[in-house]
Structure 1
């Protein structure tokens, strides 16, 4: 029972055990990883999640943050990644909502990275590299 509690806290990013790398983890059970993938809401979120996993990262998906949800997140580092598809992130009202969300997250200590669907689909490697840079920067704080 204690083992499940420890694993749960690790996955939530609430504790880090000595010798455990909080950013990368290769030992998470497959069902936990699949559960995170199943929560994604778009093909670009799944593509980016898969690319991050291929590099050994285990981000969380659809994390609640006040009245909002974060597409992909590293809660222990308060790093929020937003995947902006054309369908739900174009138009003045949607852009205004995204700005309000970013403001809310930043006021609550999150770093927000936004990537367009075009960027995720066209240059996934560069997107992952940008995320890695931010994780490394936040890890050293």
Structure 2
């Protein structure tokens, strides 16, 4: 297991070098009118650093570029996702092209993941501490 200071340093480097799609989604998530929703970007979880994390909903959002089509990278992504799901997280993946083409649809999907449906009423999310 990689030490906590090393993971935090890696997350900090990733935050400093975000892609245009990550910046776009980050700005949109910060504006999401959902009470109690708090997203973190480039958050360390176990041996991994995830793109976006909503701790209260145990929801992870990952953005994938074209290199994620590579067989080796895709297999690492599957392994990583299985580990995160075993830890109780839900992982939602979007392609970078989806952010550029239809950000509204991406945000609607995030809302559905947070509340169960597009028609669901907004309610405060409670941050659950891990045991």
TM-score normalised by length of structure 2: 0.70
How many pairs are equivalent?
103
RMSD between aligned alpha carbons? 2.2
What pairs with 1:1-141 in structure 2 (closer than 5 Å)?
38-39=15-16, 41-56=18-33, 58-87=38-67, 89-137=68-116
Question: What is the CA-CA distance between 1:54 and the residue it aligns to?
Answer: 2.5
C-alpha distance in 2, partners of 1:78/1:58? 11
Runs of 5+ in structure 1 lacking a partner?
Answer: 1-34
- Are the aligned partners of 1:79 and 1:111 in contact in 2 as well (CA < 8 Å)? yes
Are the structure 2 counterparts of residues 40 and 109 from structure 1 closer, same or farther at C-alpha, using a change threshold of 3 Å? farther
Runs of 5+ in structure 2 lacking a partner?
Answer: 1-11, 117-124, 127-131
Could you tell me which residue of structure 1 aligns to residue 7 of structure 2? Answer: none
Q: Deviations over 1:93-131 (max 9, x none)?
A: 110111011100100000000000111110110001100
- What SS does the corresponding residue of 1:118 show, helix, strand or coil? helix
- What SS does the corresponding residue of 1:41 show, helix, strand or coil? coil
Runs of 4+ in 1 over 3 A off after TM superposition: none
